[in-house]
Amino acid sequence: MSGDRFSLAHGIGGAKDLPIPPELAILGAVAALIISFTVLAVAWRTPRYDESKTGHPAPGWLARVVDSTPFRVTLRVLGIVGFGYTATAAVFGQDLLTNPVFGIFYVWWWVGLVVLSVVFGPVWKAISPVRTINLAFARLSGSAPETGVFQYPARLGYWPAALGLFAFVWMELVYPFSTELGPVRLWCAIYVALMLLGGALFGSGFYERCDPFEVYSSLAAKLSVWGRRDGQLIVRSPLANLDTTRAVPGLLAVVSVLFGSTAFDSFKDSNFWVRYTQDSSTSTYLLNNLALLTFCAGVGLIFTIGCVATGVGPGTRRLELPDKFAHSIIPIVVGYIVAHYTTYLVEYGQQTLIQASDPFGDGSNLLGTGDLTVNYWLSFHPTFLAVLKVLAVVVGHVLGVIAAHERAIELLPKRHQLTGQLPLLLAMIAFTVGGLYLLFAA
């Protein structure tokens, strides 16, 4: 039965989405172009998202509930229960594609977490089982969870998280045995071990910088309406929230991996790549490795050139700019995740919910979902899907352009504020046109 999967060509999930019609792709690209230059021409010239002033306090009852101990404890318990259930299925379940672990790992965790974070804020921080375990150890040993043996070196920033995210996408997209239980189990075991070790060594601040899922979730949460000021829950516009993203070292690496990997995922399914890798005498594994690296590094490189090819004032160093502008890729990443993974999340996500009732493959129905059927409405409406994809990519692009514009106004000297934005604008247009082309050539 283990010959069921051959991941050199496939991950999980059945049929893939149809390519979008060329007219829609072109229309999307043109809309992105027009709106970008309009924003550049007519948008504001003085910074408008002052972090200390944007947003207003959330309704009192909501703030009281969210900040209450029972609420926080419930979330932590939910995270641990989910972790325990998944771990049990991973250790005692069968190595078949019907094991819910694959759907939980590749769909609920990887895609679902992003959607939840955009709606509800930094979700992983609230439910992360590794944080909970670290907290429990700290309580048991009587120390504070925030303090560790060492101080986390600030220069490292998000780089470990970028590596962790790359390790995930490598596993998902390149590793030939990504749909076998052993490798998935091993990946998760290494993840948990490294996270617990890091938490013990550096304190819980380690998770904010090095837990790939916490970094991913918290960055996606910058597009939500939720924020905090002086510990108080506030509500503010996603653009204002996005502007509060700190320029931590490695931020560009993180968003490059996220965007590059999604673009590669799309590229990998194209008929061109399938035929090229099969006809080539070079191993598909090597080609996929090189392509994934090229996409991730390419995104970072194009963005860096777009950022540094600008005039700067005397106080600013050019090489600091990419990390300071990197937050503007976040909406582009989320738009592209929506475009590429919506059917996957909705349809394979339902399939996973059904499979979750039978974690050991013995015909049981533990959660009561075993008799449900998957609703394939999305797949039966390819036109709706195509419009949704193009809208998601274009809206993500527009939000990215606006975010970059705001940052340019803050950082660049007056005489370079418009012309200085052009290289970055062109880089973003290249990303969007490239993204739309990949959706068309799928």
Partner 1 sequence: MRRTATVLTLLVCTLPLLAACGDDNTGSPPASADDSATVEITFSDGSVTPRGERVEVEVGEPIELVVKADEPGELHVHSSPEQELEYDAGTTTLKLTIKQPGVVDVESHDLEVVVVQLEVS
Binding piece for partner 1, criterion CB under 8 A, among 54-62, 114-122, 327-335, 383-391: 383-391
Distance of alpha carbon 12 from alpha carbon 341, whole angstroms = 12
Q: Using CB under 8 A, which of 18, 62, 136, 372 touches partner 1?
A: 18
Residue 286 in contact with partner 1, rule: CB under 8 A:
no
For residue 122, the 8-state DSSP code is S
344, burial (CB in 10 Å: exposed 0-12, middle 13-18, buried 19+) = buried
Binding piece for partner 1, criterion CB under 8 A, among 13-21, 54-62, 147-155, 237-245: 13-21
Distance of alpha carbon 57 from alpha carbon 319, whole angstroms = 37
Q: Using CB under 8 A, which of 269, 323, 358, 406 touches partner 1?
A: 269
Query: Beta-carbon neighbour count of residue 254 at 10 Å?
Result: 28
Q: How many CA atoms lie within 13 A of 193 on its CB side?
A: 6
Choose between 172 and 269: whose C-beta lies nearer to partner 1: 269
Contact 439, 390 (CB under 8 A): yes
Q: Using CB under 8 A, which of 308, 391, 418, 426 touches partner 1?
A: 391
Residue 346 in contact with partner 1, rule: CB under 8 A:
no
Q: Using CB under 8 A, which of 74, 237, 278, 419 touches partner 1?
A: 278
For residue 56, the 8-state DSSP code is E
Distance of alpha carbon 404 from alpha carbon 310, whole angstroms = 13
CB of 21 to partner 1, least distance (A): 4
335, burial (CB in 10 Å: exposed 0-12, middle 13-18, buried 19+) = buried
The radius of gyration computed from the CA coordinates of the chain, to the nearest angstrom, equals: 22
258's tokens: 């996220």
Distances, alpha carbon 191 to alpha carbons 41, 48, 62, 185, in Å: 47, 40, 34, 10
Q: What is the edge-to-edge ordering of all strands in the sheet holding 56-57?
A: 56-57, 232-235, 226-229
Choose between 269 and 323: whose C-beta lies nearer to partner 1: 269
Residue 390 in contact with partner 1, rule: CB under 8 A:
yes
Distance of alpha carbon 365 from alpha carbon 363, whole angstroms = 7
Residue 42 in contact with partner 1, rule: CB under 8 A:
yes
CB of 273 to partner 1, least distance (A): 9
Residue 291 in contact with partner 1, rule: CB under 8 A:
no
Residue 2 in contact with partner 1, rule: CB under 8 A:
no
Q: Using CB under 8 A, which of 293, 309, 430, 442 touches partner 1?
A: 442
Binding piece for partner 1, criterion CB under 8 A, among 147-155, 225-233, 296-304, 373-381: 373-381
Q: What is the dihedral of CA 253, 254, 259, 264, to 10 degrees?
A: 80
Contact 175, 266 (CB under 8 A): no
For residue 318, the 8-state DSSP code is G
Residue 24 in contact with partner 1, rule: CB under 8 A:
yes
CB of 29 to partner 1, least distance (A): 11
Q: Using CB under 8 A, which of 186, 201, 274, 286 touches partner 1?
A: 274
Number of residues that bind partner 1 (CB under 8 A): 46
Binding piece for partner 1, criterion CB under 8 A, among 88-96, 286-294, 381-389, 414-422: 381-389
CB of 431 to partner 1, least distance (A): 19
Nearest Cα residue to 25 out of 399, 394, 396, 380: 394
Binding piece for partner 1, criterion CB under 8 A, among 25-33, 145-153, 248-256, 309-317: 25-33
The phi-psi region of residue 55 (left if phi > 0; otherwise alpha if psi is between -120 and 50; otherwise beta) is left
Binding piece for partner 1, criterion CB under 8 A, among 153-161, 272-280, 287-295, 302-310: 272-280
Give the residues lining the site for partner 1 (CB under 8 A): 3, 6, 8-10, 13-19, 21, 23-24, 27-28, 31, 34-35, 38-39, 42-44, 269, 271, 274-275, 278-279, 347, 374, 376, 379-380, 382-384, 386-387, 390-391, 394, 398, 442
